[in-house]
Amino acid sequence: MRILVIEDEQKMADLLKRGLEEEGFSVEVAYDGDTGLKTGKERKFDILLLDVTLPGMDGFTVARELRAANIKTPILMLTARDSTDMKVQGLDSGADDYVTKPFAFAELLARLRALLRRAEDITKLQIGDLVLDLIHRKVTRGGEEVQLTGKEFNLLEFFMRHPDEILSRETLSEKVWHETFDALTNVIDVYINYLRNKVDRNREPKLIHTIRGVGYMLKTPEKQA
């Protein structure tokens, strides 16, 4: 699950990033409105956390510009000003919900989950009989629950968002681990084996395949017929 945080206060941005990553989210941060708008347009996210007061383009304008560009990603707006007029302006600009600073992190997570539940098309990913529930971070295959660690879940999610695509080790290291491949050595191969043992072992058809000399692929059953 990918979240874009658009927040100019470094301490707040860092706290949000760390807390959300501990909950299993993949987080990217933009520290001003112009960068946030550009990033939100160019890359796909599951939800946006958008501060109102930003250098350059403010949060209201960012929200309006994203909606004008037909970006339908749910937006949770953050502000230090708790007034009805501010909330109305935020919602009218395209935000889906509103949280006033300071807030409890548990409340923020609850609001994020609520927004994600509304966006039903992104709450679950399914390939054949393999189902990944993004809200509850639960995986089943053939109706049987598959127990995964946080990193295994994130790796499987990336595969399921890119079915039938060859994914190189370099791509996986950048998108899942957010590190360079050289820093990971054989870690990726180890985690692929973990996934295979949990997802494919004693099950047919096998979904995770090695593309020798190139990388890995999660093949949909239709492509294997």
- Which domains, ranges and CATH numbers included, belong to the chain? 2-121 (3.40.50.2300), 149-224 (1.10.10.10)
At 38 the pLDDT is: 94
Question: What number of other Cβ atoms are within 10 A of residue 118's Cβ?
Answer: 11
Q: What is the pLDDT of residue 40?
A: 93
Q: What is the pLDDT of residue 79?
A: 83
Q: What DSSP character marks residue 120?
A: G
Question: For residue 25, which amino acid is it?
Answer: F
AA identity, residue 61: T
Beta-bridge mates of residue 217: 209
Pairing label, strands 75-79, 47-51: parallel
Neighbours of 169 (CB within 10 A): 17
At 145 the pLDDT is: 95
User: How much is the pLDDT for 208?
Assistant: 95
Run means of pLDDT, 10 residues per run, the chain, 225 residues: 91 92 88 94 90 91 92 88 72 86 88 77 82 87 93 91 90 82 78 95 93 92 74
Residue that is written with structure tokens 């949990």 in the block: 198
d(CA 110, CA 142): 29
Structure tokens of 148?
Answer: 């995964």
10/15 Cα distance (integer angstroms)? 9
pTM of the model: 0.59
Q: Rounded to whole angstroms, how far apart are CA atoms 222 and 225?
A: 5
- Residue 118, pLDDT score: 72
Rounded to whole angstroms, the Cα distance separating 163 from 220 reads 7
Q: Which amino acid belongs to residue 207?
A: L
Angle at 151 (CA atoms; ends 134, 178), nearest 5 degrees: 105
Q: pLDDT at position 225, please?
A: 60
